[in-house]
Structure 1
């Protein structure tokens, strides 16, 4: 049974392990080991502890019988793009492979959209790697449209991410 809850200060280690595992499952094969290792530092426990202490961020966890399965992180726009009006950004939505296709991502997206509206946002932004067609289709199915792009660094490797927006 999948349960959802807001992440708290004690979840830094859990989120570090969960986000690292999800990133490696999805993208690990694309990078040299040194680039991947450099990026995974940004998903470390200290980073998560700081984010969990940041009142502008909200992180919703999904757990299946107590095992972490995914999460969504919402906050003010931070990616290098210029938002219009009152906006929020889905900073991460990660679901581990065993839970792909279960509806878990849809539930996390519904929470994200509701939480963005509760914050007064009229637009919700996100970025997605251009070579992640599964995620792109998911976001498009939820009404997001491409509005730009930017360079996302993984170690020394530069990737292109699309910026997508959902009008709330």
Structure 2
């Protein structure tokens, strides 16, 4: 089955909402995301419209999604450019998700490559992400995609997270 990866369109807010809610029901969602299904499912349409518009072309962020040949939305990654001009040359990747049944198919690599291409266009030289110290599945996937630990550990509401980076060039496969 073929997969298409593209940057979201502002009009695709309902699909973005559905995919986000699906990701928040994943068994490791409490480790991976700083939100809950219960909270996100109560947010109004206007929230999802604004969030999607901000990640579509012309917005300050970029959300890339993976869509199966049959139209199923099953993967996502959002990249945020540096919030401090001329200080950092990194772009932050958040909200990484690939649904069960699609993992190990090359989807996460394709999502990260799109994030890297977008970040490079902004002048970034690396992608950064944070991953919970207990989320071993995600850590292994990120390492496979060229991310390495920086040695820095941050503390967020969900616990301690490793900071990982990779150059913006597409990962070798």
Band the TM-score falls in, shorter-chain normalisation = 0.7 to 0.9
**Structure 1: gaps of 5 or more residues:** 79-83
The answer as to whether partners of 2:64 and 2:111 remain within 8 angstroms in 1 is yes
Residue in 2 that maps onto 1:20 = 21
Aligned residues: 156
Matches within 5 A, 1:1-168: 1-28=2-29, 36-37=36-37, 39-40=39-40, 45-54=45-54, 55-64=59-68, 65-77=70-82, 85-147=88-150, 148-153=152-157, 158-168=158-168
Q: 1:69 and 1:19 mapped to 2: Cα distance?
A: 10
Deviation for aligned residue 1:96 = 0.9
TM-score, normalised to structure 1, is 0.78
Q: Deviations over 1:129-154 (max 9, x none)?
A: 1111111112122222223222332x
Between structures 1 and 2, the one with greater helix share: 1
Stretches of structure 2 lacking an aligned partner (at least 5 in a row): 169-173
